[in-house]
Structure 1
Amino acid sequence: MGRKRTPRAGALLQTSCLPLLLLLPLFIAVTPEGATVEVRVQVLDINDHAPAFPRPHGALRVPENTPSGSRFPLEPAFDADGGALGTQGYLDPERYFAIDAATGVIRLNRGLDYELRKVHELVVQARDRALHPEVSTAFVTIQVRDYNDNQPTMTIIFLSEDGSPRVSEGAQPGQFVARISVSDPDYGEYANVNVSLEGGEGKFALTTKDSIIYLICVDQMLDREERDAYSLRVTATDAGTPPLRAESAFVLRVTDVNDNPPLFDTQEYEQSVPEVVYPGSFVLQVTARDKDQGPNGEVRYSLLHTQETHSHWFAIDAATGIITTASALDYEVDPQPQLTVLATDRGTPPLSSTALVRVALQDVNDNEPLFESSFYNVSLKEDTLPGTCFLQVSECARPWPALGQGRTSSHFCWVRGLAGLWREP
């Protein structure tokens, strides 16, 4: 750097670049004898430098649970120009972040969500304040770090015909009851979900092949008559710290199958009835109970009719089991008719059982004596002595005992005559 004196003009000429100094002192000789004079030259800055970042690319890792307002320092841009020309400005197009233009500090402007967006590309600009500003750009990649902020999701589909939580009591071990699908919006180890099953008294088990789809299956034979409902709880737990979980509790109903026949209170009934009663008279009521449910447990009654047992003398109400007389009874024909009652449920296929009813008829005097013959003809000698037996009459043989536990006493008399005879053998 140097200055030459121009004898005629007396001007100073710049022969090399000047540093940016506010004041440059110069010493100039003005006489042959070497006298000098000091000249101070003020150097004025011009905007000849653009702002520059230390690195064109920067990176930050920010946890997704970082609260809004958190601050992250950014290496500031440098401008070789001085004064107001060195002021920096920054630009964040997406406004997730706010940047202090003076300090270069990045501030989180709103909450982050790793599941919504994993990476944010932040464009940072530095510009000076000249009339025609110089601009430089840097890129900051902000990687959002996952946090276990999402609990597992669980969907249960029951495999019954109507999609309700129920299982047939006839289901065999290994038969599937419900399908469970699980997922976790988090990533990495946070997305690993374990599913467990509680309750059910050991009657049910949980199985899976891929830890995504789980199946509830029957593990032991069921009996609705023993227990008709089980409380189950399914829990899905992720591998986060602390772990998050989702739970679903439900009652699994055991539906009936027709595996029990109706059973009578007793296998034999006995009843005593007068032989002379009106049709429709009450005899007795039988009762059968079925442990099954619904139509499988509804009992209907009927009589098994046979000619030998004279069951046609009686009728039974199909719903109540009340037995009544259907026609006239006859002790002399059958003193103890027997009925076979059939109880049948309404299952498919139906099940049934039988009971025996013995009806003892009480005899009444409803039959007049009968002679073996309706006409007798006897010839007597006129000198027959009084007291001579000339004829013996008797009742006809009957296939039933007479009234009075087998007594065969009868009364004989003349229909027309002067004398009468009483005989009691």
Structure 2
Amino acid sequence: MKLGKVEFCHLLQIIALFLCLSGMNQAEPSRSRSKPYFQSGRTRTKRSWVWNQFFVLEEYMGSDPLYVGKLHSDVDKGDGSIKYILSGEGASSIFIIDENTGDIHATKRLDREEQAYYTLRAQALDRLTNKPVEPESEFVIKIQDINDNEPKFLDGPYTAGVPEMSPVGTSVVQVTATDADDPTYGNSARVVYSILQGQPYFSVEPKTGIIKTALPNMDREAKDQYLLVIQAKDMVGQNGGLSGTTSVTVTLTDVNDNPPRFPRRSYQYNVPESLPVASVVARIKAADADVGPNAEMEYKIVDGDGLGVFKISVDKDTQEGIITIQKELDFEAKTSYTLRIEAANMHVDPRFLSLGPFSDMTTVKIIVEDVDEPPVFTSRLYSMVVSEAAKVGTIIGTVAAHDPDASNSPVRYSIDRNTDLERYFNIDANSGVITTAKSLDRETNAVHNITVLAMESQNPAQIGRGYVAITILDINDNAPEFAMEYETTVCENAQPGQIIQKISAIDKDDPPNGHQFYFSLTAEAANNHNFTLQDNKGDVSPYLSGAVNQY
């Protein structure tokens, strides 16, 4: 039968312990009679009990009960008159005693890691009277350790991180293995650590289990994760020792050791001139091999003829530079712009400044594309005046619009009839001359606001709008009117010259200096000498009155 390393080790331990116990069993009885023995640290007087100090090797796998030791009293003459009794932990179930000889055997396999010792009591009785011939005494059976437990990493598997570019010897993490064997006996629980996988990048200290970096300048961008296998071996790593392993996943954490870089030295984008202000023109991005805050960057326009026309900001989520319009574009004024743009890291690590500037430059050219624009009037608002006495066809004024595109297409004019429902005005389609189409009445409408349409002849869908305010000038075309119908009463005893009524008049016209009215009696009333009218001589007043006097 072939034995494995573990079984062979166990066999050697059993043989050594057996030889030790055999020597003790032969020598101890005589010594026990001549000397006191010690228990629980206190000196006891001479007793007539005789036994060995008991040890039992754990994990005994034999088929026969394992001999532990012998109880003997010097009262026992060997004639069978003494009977030995065993009680306490494991008595009868684990440990049995031959009541005639006092021999103790273990009937079960024992595990020191489950229980390291058993406390029992021994008694010697007279077989005939069943009375003690010795006082009951307590003793301990110790379980002798063998190396039957491998080291275990109770906290594994491990994960850890260490900054990239760390110097050699930087601590990463400490691993710990525990061994259930007796640390006070031999080397069964003395563990040493070694690295089975992960070299040459990492090392482990044999006694402490501290994992350290073993290579300089490990680059996260080249490889960001390593799987290590760490072994713990007992018996101080000697042959025949038991071992256990665990895995350690080490992640290289990022440091800012890479500057941003534009993938291209120049970019070009085409933009229609009609694009509204604040619209996005383009998105550009500088690549940065770092991650997280180390890859955060800012963009700025450092040069070019597009300063003030465009601006650039950063998208916090994508780290893109967003170019937007700040002013309206006009193809006819400028057809292209050039921007010199810089991308720079926001969080620079001073340790890596020697690598060079943590920024990069690129050129962005923006081509403005022509868009067919509607005609544009020379003025946003035209003001015109015309007398209300003007005849139909009278010229009021002229509007002018042009096609802003390079084609400079001819323009045709018309009036938006939604603003001139009664068609008071006409416009010449080619010249833009506005004329009266109907008689005007200032008292009906003093100001006409109309919209003039300018349409490209080559593309009627392109329509521009101009606004015209036409003020109607007043003429004296309305006679005065009395403000009301007067009905006057007078007392019969009224005195001559007494004022009995004031009379006022209104006029729909609107002369610049106000109205001046002159009052007189009609020819029929003038023959009535009972009343007279006193005129105010054109004095300006909201209500001018004449005075009627009774004679």
TM-score band, normalised by the shorter chain? 0.5 to 0.7
Structure 1 residue matching 2:85: 3-state secondary structure: coil
Structure 2 residue matching 1:165: 3-state secondary structure: strand
Aligned to 1:269: 267
Q: Spell out the pairing of 1:301-320 with structure 2 (5 A cutoff).
A: 301-304=299-302, 309-316=305-312, 318-319=314-315, 320=320
The 8 Å contact of residues 264 and 289 in structure 1, kept in 2 or not, is answered as: yes
Q: CA RMSD in A?
A: 4.2
Aligned to 2:218: 222
The 8 Å contact of residues 299 and 345 in structure 1, kept in 2 or not, is answered as: yes
Aligned in 2, Cα 1:365/1:235: closer, same or farther, shift over 3 Å? closer
Aligned to 1:296: 294
Structure 1 residue matching 2:166: 3-state secondary structure: coil
Aligned to 1:36: none
Pick aligned residue for 2:228 from 232, 235, 248: 232
Cα deviation code 1:336-371 (max 9, x no counterpart): 5321223344545695322111335568999xxxxx
Amino acid at match of 1:341: I
Cα deviation code 1:52-75 (max 9, x no counterpart): x99823244421222597242737
Aligned to 1:357: 364
* Structure-2-length-normalised TM-score: 0.46
Aligned to 1:91: 86
The 8 Å contact of residues 123 and 132 in structure 2, kept in 1 or not, is answered as: no
Aligned to 1:148: 147
Larger displacement relative to structure 2 (113-122 or 230-239): 113-122
* Structure-1-length-normalised TM-score: 0.58
| Superposed displacement of residue 176, structure 1 | 0.5
Q: Spell out the pairing of 1:149-164 with structure 2 (5 A cutoff).
A: 149-154=148-153
Aligned in 2, Cα 1:183/1:356: closer, same or farther, shift over 3 Å? same
Aligned in 2, Cα 1:303/1:97: closer, same or farther, shift over 3 Å? same
Amino acid at match of 1:63: L
1:129 lines up with 2:127 in the alignment: yes
| Superposed displacement of residue 178, structure 1 | 0.8
Aligned to 1:338: 338
| Superposed displacement of residue 245, structure 1 | 2.0
The 8 Å contact of residues 58 and 141 in structure 1, kept in 2 or not, is answered as: no
**Percent identity over the alignment?**
29
Q: Distance in 2 between matches of 1:198 and 1:131?
A: 70
The 8 Å contact of residues 225 and 292 in structure 1, kept in 2 or not, is answered as: yes
Aligned to 1:200: 198
Larger displacement relative to structure 2 (68-77 or 99-108): 68-77
Q: Distance in 1 between matches of 2:61 and 2:104?
A: 13
Structure 2 residue matching 1:189: 3-state secondary structure: coil
The 8 Å contact of residues 54 and 75 in structure 1, kept in 2 or not, is answered as: no
Q: Distance in 2 between matches of 1:157 and 1:134?
A: 57
Q: Distance in 2 between matches of 1:167 and 1:253?
A: 7
| Bigger relative contact order, structure 1 or 2 (CA pairs below 8 A, ≥6 apart) | 1
Q: Distance in 2 between matches of 1:131 and 1:277?
A: 122
Aligned residues: 305
| Superposed displacement of residue 289, structure 1 | 1.9
Amino acid at match of 2:174: R
1:180 lines up with 2:187 in the alignment: no
The 8 Å contact of residues 90 and 99 in structure 1, kept in 2 or not, is answered as: yes
1:56 lines up with 2:55 in the alignment: no
| Superposed displacement of residue 266, structure 1 | 0.5
Structure 1 residue matching 2:60: 3-state secondary structure: coil
Cα deviation code 1:183-213 (max 9, x no counterpart): 43333121232211133352211125xx2x2
The 8 Å contact of residues 298 and 344 in structure 2, kept in 1 or not, is answered as: yes
Q: Distance in 2 between matches of 1:133 and 1:365?
A: 129
Pick aligned residue for 1:169 from 138, 155, 164: 164
| Superposed displacement of residue 144, structure 1 | 3.3
The 8 Å contact of residues 157 and 179 in structure 1, kept in 2 or not, is answered as: no
Structure 1 residue matching 2:223: 3-state secondary structure: coil
Q: Distance in 2 between matches of 1:330 and 1:346?
A: 36
Q: Distance in 1 between matches of 2:340 and 2:264?
A: 13
Aligned in 2, Cα 1:157/1:103: closer, same or farther, shift over 3 Å? closer
Aligned to 1:249: 247
More helix by share: 2
Aligned in 2, Cα 1:223/1:361: closer, same or farther, shift over 3 Å? same
Aligned in 2, Cα 1:61/1:341: closer, same or farther, shift over 3 Å? same
| Superposed displacement of residue 225, structure 1 | 1.2
Cα deviation code 1:362-385 (max 9, x no counterpart): 68999xxxxxxxxxxxxxxxxxxx
Cα deviation code 1:247-280 (max 9, x no counterpart): 2213212211222222212011234556676545
Q: Distance in 2 between matches of 1:179 and 1:118?
A: 30
Pick aligned residue for 2:187 from 182, 186, 189: 189
Cα deviation code 1:115-135 (max 9, x no counterpart): 677666765433223337461
| Superposed displacement of residue 147, structure 1 | 0.6
Aligned in 2, Cα 1:102/1:109: closer, same or farther, shift over 3 Å? same
| Superposed displacement of residue 231, structure 1 | 0.7
Amino acid at match of 1:150: N
Q: Distance in 1 between matches of 2:324 and 2:118?
A: 91
The 8 Å contact of residues 275 and 330 in structure 1, kept in 2 or not, is answered as: yes
| Superposed displacement of residue 114, structure 1 | 4.0
The 8 Å contact of residues 302 and 318 in structure 1, kept in 2 or not, is answered as: no
The 8 Å contact of residues 71 and 105 in structure 1, kept in 2 or not, is answered as: no
The 8 Å contact of residues 229 and 245 in structure 2, kept in 1 or not, is answered as: yes
Aligned in 2, Cα 1:66/1:364: closer, same or farther, shift over 3 Å? closer
Amino acid at match of 2:144: R
Cα deviation code 1:199-249 (max 9, x no counterpart): 3352211125xx2x2211112222111112111121111128743222221
Q: Distance in 2 between matches of 1:295 and 1:301?
A: 15
